[in-house]
Structure 1
């Protein structure tokens, strides 16, 4: 997987956990904390959540929906990389400086705001949960590379 490249489709944040996220054009990632002004930032293993943009497109097509960035409560939508294959311990470099390390894939599924709002969810099954190993500024459209 090393060297596989994709791009950052979107960056989304929300001030508190348990909310749908809103898209922003750029964000500051803080080392060992996560994305500035996002409710998931903190000293734990799920600082930043990533989803494959192809998965969102698939759900939209299968369910006849029009789900946009942040509506699955993800921080980052990434195009062109099969994220689940990155694996726990794998790393993603985003833009010039940011490095995320995968701490877990998927999580417990519970009746979240996403499930209640959309009737479908992705993070519990294929979401990447990451720690921010190196911080910096990320922008929509940045190169994402498996390192």
Structure 2
């Protein structure tokens, strides 16, 4: 069993913009985070990125933090891109299933133009919500399978 923790939870009202850290989020089954632009009945309901990945970009001199890569949940202690599609994990009260590792960026984001690279397409993961609940910073993350 692998364990980690939630560093931050973030939302945005519109797609294509950085997300803002909030105190907690409500995750709804087969929907995603209530109030987030990316929620809906599709396979990328919630996005996760590790703080370790963000620190790589900080080491390049970028002033970035949780939510700046448009991730909903910033994690610590779990190698997210190593999780196979179909893996299930509990995050706070929610049960999530990995549906996609990384993504193709059709347009280069501001981070890419600043650094010449971006970690979200290679190291971010996407999940669908199997069971909803509240998720907040410092909540435990447990990989079940």
Q: TM-score, normalised by structure 2?
A: 0.92
| Equivalence for 1:135 | 132
Q: Is the 8 A contact 2:81 2:102 kept in 1?
A: no
Map of 1:108 onto structure 2:
104
Give the unaligned 5+ runs of structure 2.
Answer: none
Determine if contact 2:9/2:137 at 8 Å carries over to the other structure.
Answer: yes
Q: Confirm or deny: 8 A CA contact 1:114 1:121 kept in the other structure.
A: no
Indicate the RMSD between aligned Cα atoms, in angstroms.
1.4
Task: Identify the residue that residue 65 of structure 1 maps to in structure 2.
Answer: 62
1:8 and 1:79 in contact (8 A); partners too = yes
**Counterpart for residue 91 of structure 1:** 88
In the alignment, structure 1 segments of 5+ residues that lack a partner are: none
Alpha-carbon offset, residue 122 of structure 1: 1.7
CA deviations 1:19-70 (Å, max 9, x no partner) are 1100001010000000010000000000000011101112211x11221111
* 8 Å CA contact 2:112, 2:118 repeated in 1: no
Shift in CA distance, 91/114, structure 1 to aligned 2, threshold 3 Å = farther
Aligned to 1:24: 22
Aligned residues between the structures? 143
Does structure 2 conserve the Cα–Cα contact (< 8 Å) formed by 1:28 and 1:136? yes
Q: For residue 82 of structure 1, report the CA deviation from its aligned partner.
A: 0.5
> Cα–Cα, structure 1 residues 92 and 118, in superposed 2: closer, same or farther, change >3 Å?
farther
CA displacement, residues 92-123 of structure 1 (integer Å, 9 cap, x when unaligned) = 1012x201101010111222444466443222
TM-score, normalised by the number of residues in structure 1: 0.91
User: 2:54 matched to 1:56?
Assistant: yes
Give distance in 2, aligned partners of 1:124 and 1:73.
11
